[in-house]
Amino acid sequence: MSKARLVITAVVFEGRSQSDVARDYGVSQSWISRLVARYRLDGDAAFEPRSRRPHTSPTRLPDTTIALIVELRAELSSKGLDSGPSTIAWHLRHHHATTVSAASISRHLHAAGLVEPTPRKRPKSSYIRFAAEQPNERWQADFTHWWLADRTHVEILDWLDDHSRYAISV
């Protein structure tokens, strides 16, 4: 039996005080008060987990604005124009008298599945450092373009042993 059911049984059915039950079960009196009020209002449904999502979202964009964002994206893309969040924000502001941030537009385009997600960073697994297991097993060659003080162009060629990273020749 869950702790909530035990608390309700002790307070509602056994008639014990909330402070005694709080002390015995190691919970706060305010939690017991909320639980008892919810039980008296909802019955056994009070024991079911409730959503923690807010009842309202005052800053949520209206559905008409979201539909307009999607429509503008399709219209601009079909004409071959830039259809990014900043461009859509400009069109909303200048043609529809609606101000929406580029971040909000981007979020709604992602939610609508209109943006192909691309990672911003390379995965760490792609950073594979190869190294030869034995000296002189593999060498690396590289060159660098350089201008000397007298305006002479030179190329600096270097050879590295891939095992020890020792410069064999420069």
β strands within 106-152, DSSP E: 139-147
pLDDT tens-place string over residues 54-69: 988 888 899 999 999 9
Look up the pTM and report it.
0.47
The domain ranges of the chain are: 3-47, 63-111, 139-169
Question: Within 13 Å of residue 69, how many CA atoms lie on the same side as its CB?
Answer: 28
Single-letter code of the amino acid located at 27: V
> In the structure, what pLDDT confidence band is assigned to residue 136 with cuts at 50, 70 and 90?
confident
